[in-house]
Structure 1
Amino acid sequence: MSRVSNALQMYMLLQVRNIMKIDEIAEILEVTPRMVNEYKNDLEKAGIYIGSKRGRNGGYYLENTFNLKAISITEEELEALKMASEVIRSGNYTYATEFETLSSKVLNMKKDFEDISYYNKNILKPIEMKEKEKRIWTNVNKAIGGKNKLKIDYSSIDYTGDGPKSKTRIVHPYGVFDYEGSLYLYGYCELRKEIRFFKFLRINRYEILKDKFKINSEYNLKEIINKSFGIFNDEFINLKLKIYYPMSQIVREKQYAMNQKIEEIDNKAIYFEAKLKGYKEIKSWVMSMGSLVEVIEPIKLRDEILKEISKIRKIYE
C-alpha cells in the first residue's frame, strides 16, 4: 500500500479499536514501528490528532474521534447500511466478508446504534464457487478498466439436451452485473457478433489479451434488462396468462414487467398480460406454477408446455 493508504488504514483501525499498540499497528500494516510514527505525523498535519498512553494497556488513540454528524449521516442511513450489509452477508455474495468489515467500521463509530432484526433469505453458494467468482472478477475488472479483449473458454447451457458445450470466444468486456446471486460478464462477442452475457461460473479459462477495443456507447444494459423477464435478450412476446389462487395473489404482489397489466376475474383468479423478452425463463416461470396457470397467449408457449407435460407423464409412468 502507499503511504497515504496506510495512514488512512491506521486511522480506521483506531476508530474501531479505540487504542492500539504501535507494534500491533505495524504488524497489521506490515511496516516498521518507525513508519507508524510517520503516519501519525501525516495524520496530525491533516488535523487528525493522535494521543499516546503509556503502560501495559497503552498505545495510540484518536484525540478527535470521527463524528457522524460532521458528514450528516442520519439514523435512517445507518439502518439502510445495516440492512444492506445483512443482505450481502446472508446472500453469500462474492465480497460479503469485506463489505461486512467496511460497514462495521462505520456502524461501530456510533456505539449506541441498535442492531436491526433482519435476514435476507437467498440461495447459498458453495465456497469454491464464490472463490472462483472472486478470482475471475478481479481479472475481468482489469480488462474492463484497460479496455483489453478477453479470451475465454466458456461452457454454455445446451437446451437441446445434448449436454454442455465449451467454446473459445474473444469478448470485449463492457461490465459485470449480478442476477439472482450470480455474477455475469456482458460484452461484445466476436463469435456471435453481438452483445452476450457470460456467467462467471461457466468460464473455464480466461486470458487478458493485449488487443484493445472500443465500447459501443449506444448499448444500454439497464434498458435491455428492464425489457426482459430475466436476462435473455430475444424477441418480444405478448404474454397472456390466466392465473388461479393462491398464485394469483403472489403474482399481484410482484412487478414482472414495467408494462404488465392485471385484470381481476374474481377473488380467486386474474388475467396477467405483458410484452417482454426472455422466452426460456418465461416458460420456466409458467411451468413452475403447475396447474394454477393457463397460457392464453402465445400459442407457441401453450403448445410447448403441453409437450413438456407429455414428457413428464412418460417419466412418471
Structure 2
Amino acid sequence: MARGDQLSRQWKIIQTLVASTQGKTVPALADRLGCTSRTVYRDLEALQAGGFPITTENRDNRSYWHILNPSRQQIPLAFSIPELMALYFGKDMLKTYRGTVFHDAIDSLLSKIKATLPSAYIDYLDRIRDRVDAGPAPRKDYTRFGTIIAALNRAIIDEKKIHMVYFSMGRKKESRRTVHPYRLRHVDDTLYLIGYCALRKGVRTFAVDRIETVTPSDDGFQVPAEFDMKAFLQDSFGIYQGSPVRVKIRFLQSVAGYIRERTWHPSQHLSDQADGTLIFTATVAGIEEISHWVLRWGAGAQVIAPAALRQTVGRHAADMASHYRDAPADEDRETVSPPPSHERPIQ
C-alpha cells in the first residue's frame, strides 16, 4: 500500500470525526472510506500513537470514535485540526511578507501552538503540508518595509492620519502627502495602501514599496459613511482606478483554454465562437491595467473595442516589434536554445 494512500485515508478519518457531533463507528468509517474495518482500526491506532486526541464512547452497545472536543471534555484544545492546518498553509502563503507584522505574527502564533502539541502530532501536520505547496515564491522583498507596514497597520486600526513621503513611478519624483489610511490590499504579489490623499483631494492607491517614510499623526479621521470600498474596487482589473470602460477582446484557440480556466474580472462574459476563438467582454476601470494583460497573451489576443485600447495595445506591440526588427551585431549575438516543444511561451 502506498504511503500517500494511507496518509490520505487517515486525513479523511480526522476530517470525518471533526465534522461529526455524535462520533462514528468503525463500520461507518470503513464504508465511507471504501476499506475494511481492520484497516480503519489500524489507522485509528496509528493516529492515537501519533498524539491525536481520539477516543471512544460506548453508546447502545456500540463504540463511537471522537476527536476530543473542549465542549465535551475538559482538555485544552484551542484550535480544531482544520483551523490548525489553515494556519500552517497561511504561513506559507505569506512568505512574500517575511520580516513584516503579517508573517511574523502568524509565525509567532504557530510557535506557541507547537509548544503545546506532541511531536508526533507536529510531524504528521508537516507531512501533510509537504504534499500541498501553498507558498508562492516571494517576488518582492518586504523585509525592509517591515517598520512602514507595521505603522500603516496601526494607523488603519487606530484611524489616525499619517504623513508620508511617496515616490511616484510615473512622475519619477517624490512628494509629501497627508493620507487617511483606509485599507491595505494585496494584488499580484504587491501590497497597496488605499486611502484619502489630502494632496490630490480624493481616494488614491499607493504601492507600499514606494513609500519612503511614514510618520504617524495624532489627528484622527473617519471613513466617510458614503464611501463604499467594494464599489471603489469593483471595476478595477487589479488595483488601478479609472472611468468604467466596456472592453471586448478576441482570444485565438491557442490561448482560449487558459482564459476559460479563470475568473479574471467579476463582470466578465465569455462567448465561444464557431471557429474555436473566444470573445471576452467586461467593464473595467480604465484601460491601463487591462492593456498589460492583453499584451501578456501576445498574438493570441486581439482587441475589438474600445478604439483607445486597440490603439494603446497596437502602439506597445509596434514598439516591441521594433526591438527585434534588425539582427543584433555579431558581438552582441547570444546563442539561445529554443524552449522545449511542450512548454508554451505564454501562460
Question: What's the TM-score, normalizing by structure 2?
Answer: 0.63
1:282 aligned partner, one-letter code: I
Residue by residue, what CA displacement relative to the aligned partner does 1:91-118 show, whole Å, maximum 9, x if unpaired? 7583324423423544663643442211
- Aligned equivalent of 1:83, options 76, 86, 89: 89
Bigger mean CA deviation after superposition, 203-212 or 102-111: 102-111
1:269 aligned partner, one-letter code: T
Tell me what 2:278 maps to.
270
Q: What are structure 2's unaligned runs of at least 5 residues?
A: 1-66, 71-76, 326-347
Tell me what 2:303 maps to.
295
Tell me what 2:212 maps to.
204
Aligned residues: 245
Residue by residue, what CA displacement relative to the aligned partner does 1:157-176 show, whole Å, maximum 9, x if unpaired? 21xxxx61211111112222
- The 2-side partners of 1:92 and 1:266 are apart by 49
Residue by residue, what CA displacement relative to the aligned partner does 1:169-191 show, whole Å, maximum 9, x if unpaired? 11112222222222222111011
Computed over aligned residues only, the root mean square deviation of the Cα atoms, in angstroms, reads: 2.6
Tell me what 2:106 maps to.
99
Matched position secondary structure for 2:225: coil
- The 2-side partners of 1:287 and 1:309 are apart by 8
Conserved? CA contact 1:265–1:271, under 8 Å: yes
Deviation at 1:304, TM superposition (A): 1.5
Distance 1:133 1:267, change over 3 A: farther
- The 2-side partners of 1:308 and 1:200 are apart by 27
- Aligned equivalent of 2:221, options 213, 218, 226: 213
Conserved? CA contact 2:96–2:142, under 8 Å: no
Residue by residue, what CA displacement relative to the aligned partner does 1:216-246 show, whole Å, maximum 9, x if unpaired? 1222223322321111121111111110133
Equivalence map 1:178-257=2 (5 Å)? 178-257=186-265
Tell me what 1:134 maps to.
146
Conserved? CA contact 1:87–1:120, under 8 Å: yes
Residue by residue, what CA displacement relative to the aligned partner does 1:47-94 show, whole Å, maximum 9, x if unpaired? xxxxxxxxxxxxxxxxxxxx9621685444343333223222377583
Conserved? CA contact 2:92–2:135, under 8 Å: no
Tell me what 2:155 maps to.
143
Matched position secondary structure for 1:273: strand
1:277 aligned partner, one-letter code: A
Matched position secondary structure for 2:267: coil
Deviation at 1:257, TM superposition (A): 1.7
1:77 aligned partner, one-letter code: E
Residue by residue, what CA displacement relative to the aligned partner does 1:271-315 show, whole Å, maximum 9, x if unpaired? 111112142110000011100011011111101211122222223
- The 1-side partners of 2:312 and 2:208 are apart by 30
- The 1-side partners of 2:104 and 2:253 are apart by 41
Q: What are structure 1's unaligned runs of at least 5 residues?
A: 1-66
Deviation at 1:264, TM superposition (A): 0.8
- The 2-side partners of 1:93 and 1:137 are apart by 10
Tell me what 1:33 maps to.
none
- The 2-side partners of 1:208 and 1:254 are apart by 40
Are 1:285 and 2:285 an aligned pair?
no
% of aligned pairs identical? Answer: 25
Residue by residue, what CA displacement relative to the aligned partner does 1:133-164 show, whole Å, maximum 9, x if unpaired? 21112222333344332111111121xxxx61
Large movers: runs of 4+ above 6 Å: none
Conserved? CA contact 1:152–1:170, under 8 Å: yes
Tell me what 1:118 maps to.
132
Distance 1:84 1:273, change over 3 A: same
